[in-house]
Amino acid sequence: MISSLELARICGVSQGTVDRAIHHRTGIGEATRQRILKAAAAHGYSPNPAAREIMTGKSRMVGALTPVTNSVFFMDLLQCIKESLAPQGLRVLLATVNTPEEFQEMIGEFAARRMRAAIVVPPEEGMVISSHVTRDMKVVSLLSPLRGDSAVCFVAPDEVATGKKAVQYLARKGHRRILHLTYWREAMAIRDRARGYEEGMVELGEAPVILRDLSRPILAKAIEKYRPTALFCHNDPLALNVIRILGELDLRVPRDVSVMGVDNSPTFRFLYPDLTTMAYPRERIAVQVTAWISGNKKPRLMEGCRIVEGQTIRKIHSHPIIS
């Protein structure tokens, strides 16, 4: 592969003329343009994007940081954002981090590489982003907010509304003994979704019960003690695991116990299309992220996730006894 300088010498023109021809800019005759393009193809010339970004001071790269790559939810969300950014000429480079130290190191490297923006899922709550990082790079946080200056923003649905909406939906189906299954780890989405569930149960006049350990013995004991008619799971992977454990306990879904998740991930819909769930607003998040990165339109809090009805919730008129 030859350089633009070598191509200019072959064609007997300046480097600037080569640049105008390759990038289809004005200030060059069509015959000269075609001659340069033909020579570029013949000699295998390809523009160096890094060099162009240095010359223009504008990067087309957007860095992405997530804690893991085996999360269907993260990958589906990032894919949606990637597709939204593509028409703006922006590309996404994904990296994974496991600790706050790795996170700070990688986001600093993104800034050093002069990336247009960073889209991140913080590995822990309350992390602070230095103004040195955001001097020339915007940072978009998903799931958990970051602390920083005006170049840092948070994009998410109203998770309290999501939890409350799930309870209201199940109540309309006749359920009152609703158990919420979630995780121990600290994250805004986990905390707020559980709070919405609690508020919804209080409005029903029922005591909220939250289970954070999904081992088979713990779930079996909870079902025996609380006799729930419905299980509201924090996400779809948890819901699928619950359905598996219920099968091992000889409980059928939804005849014996109804199950509901959250995410509506395209990948999980393929694995279990009958699951009743709530659709995480990936497309709306992608639109807001793109508007913020390519312009300056600040994201706003969205309404909660919407219900996607499946076959794992049964409408009841009386409280069945689970034995």
Question: What mean pLDDT, rounded, does the chain reach?
Answer: 88
- Which residue, of 111, 133, 155, is where some domain finishes? 155
> With contact defined as beta carbons under 8 Å apart, do 265 and 116 qualify?
no
Answer yes or no: is 184 within a domain: yes
Answer yes or no: is 54 within a domain: no
Which residue is associated with the tokens 């559980």?
Answer: 194
Q: Using CA atoms of 145, 149, 150, 153 in order, give the dihedral in degrees to the nearest 10.
A: -10
Distance between CA atoms of residues 215 and 226, nearest Å: 16
Answer yes or no: is 298 within a domain: no
> In this predicted model, what pLDDT tens digit does every residue of 140-195 receive, in sequence order?
999 889 998 888 999 999 999 999 999 999 999 999 999 999 998 888 999 999 99
Q: What is the CA radius of gyration of the chain?
A: 26
Distance between CA atoms of residues 77 and 99, nearest Å: 21
Residue whose C-alpha is closest to residue 276's, from 319, 246, 314? 314
Distance between CA atoms of residues 232 and 160, nearest Å: 14
> In this predicted model, what pLDDT tens digit does every residue of 69-122 receive, in sequence order?
667 888 899 999 999 999 988 999 999 898 999 999 999 999 988 899 999 999
- Which residue, of 139, 155, 171, is where some domain finishes? 155
Q: Which domain holds residue 192?
A: 159-280+303-308
Q: Are residues 276 and 163 in the same domain?
A: yes
Q: Are residues 232 and 204 in the same domain?
A: yes
Q: Which of the listed ranges 5-19, 29-43, 233-247, 262-276 does the model predict with the highest average pLDDT?
A: 233-247
Domain tally, the chain: 3
Q: Are residues 142 and 188 in the same domain?
A: no
Q: Are residues 96 and 140 in the same domain?
A: yes
